[in-house]
Structure 1
Amino acid sequence: MAFDYGLRQIGVAMGNVLLGTSQALPILKARDGVPDWQALEAVVREWQPDLLIIGEPLNMDGTESELSRRACKFSRRLHGRLGLPVVLVDERLSSFEAKAVSREQGHSGDYHREPIDSLAAELILQTWLNEQA
């Protein structure tokens, strides 16, 4: 299961290592980066992943950003609450790519009304799956 961490929304996607497939799941709401833990735990219980993948939003030069530090903190909290292994995956340009893919699929361009965070989570998951092949 992959997460695209954000301050207002957290994108979620689920994948299958054996098949190399992934699918976007509904976005989880967050307040200043803090998720609705009950909703998050419910999604994890429903899908029962073996591994949690968190996008790490590094700067383009590979250095940490404030958001990447917060994503790392989120990953530690996930591990502490759920006891599942957590992997951080470089997500540079995943939002840019998600916007490009969504536009190709006819997205209106209003990302507030039609968010793409779960598509970004799916792209992060696909990056990780491709690295495993």
Structure 2
Amino acid sequence: METVLGFDFGLKRIGVAVGNTVLRQAQPLAVIRAATNDGKFAELGALIREWQPALCVVGLPRHPDGAEHEMTVRCRRFANQLHGRFDVPTVLVDERYSSAVISYQRGETIDDRAAAIILQQYFDDESQS
């Protein structure tokens, strides 16, 4: 059984989810809210040390037609930084419709649930291949 962490990257917050390769069920874990890049990676490092994932899954946003935009580039960079800083394999998953699946409630942070949807999509796609 190996642990897998999923990430919904944002400029202000990073949603984190956890799952494993046996149950293949993602669940929300945390929301990283550090104000600085160093602070964000310090919190991410603590989670990675605690959970020791075999893989990190990062949501890759795109326009509905599949075209890339500014956040697509930022998410690729984030995935590369996760891999480079923590030496954990990282994969990207299309997250175009992950936010649409979550019903937004005023004042509620949904980033960790979006990360869980991204991670669950990875598990579901992998079981189909």
Q: Same fold (TM over 0.5)?
A: yes
Counterpart in 2 of 1:129? 123
| Separation in structure 1 between the aligned mates of residue 40 and residue 10 of structure 2, nearest angstrom | 13
After superposition, give the CA deviation of every residue in 1:45-100 in whole Å (9 maximum; x if it has no partner).
1111100000000111111110010000001111110011100000011011122x
Which structure 2 residue ranges, 5 or more long, are not aligned? none
| Separation in structure 2 between the aligned mates of residue 64 and residue 26 of structure 1, nearest angstrom | 27
After superposition, give the CA deviation of every residue in 1:15-65 in whole Å (9 maximum; x if it has no partner).
112111121011001548x36111110011111110000000011111111
Is residue 55 of structure 1 aligned with residue 55 of structure 2?
no
Counterpart in 2 of 1:42? 46
After superposition, give the CA deviation of every residue in 1:83-123 in whole Å (9 maximum; x if it has no partner).
11100000011011122xxx6xxxxx21xx32000000000
Counterpart in 2 of 1:71? 75
Q: How does 1:20-35 map to 2 (within 5 A)?
A: 20-31=24-35, 34=37
Residues 39 and 125 from structure 1, CA distance in 2 versus in 1: closer, same or farther, beyond 3 angstroms? same
| Large movers: runs of 4+ above 3 Å | none
Aligned-pair RMSD on alpha carbons?
1.4
Whether the 8 Å CA contact 1:6–1:30 is kept in 2: the answer is no
2:102 aligned to 98, 101, 109, which one? Answer: 98
Report how many aligned residue pairs link the two structures: 122
Which structure 1 residue ranges, 5 or more long, are not aligned? 104-108
Percent of aligned pairs with the same residue? 42
| Separation in structure 2 between the aligned mates of residue 115 and residue 97 of structure 1, nearest angstrom | 14
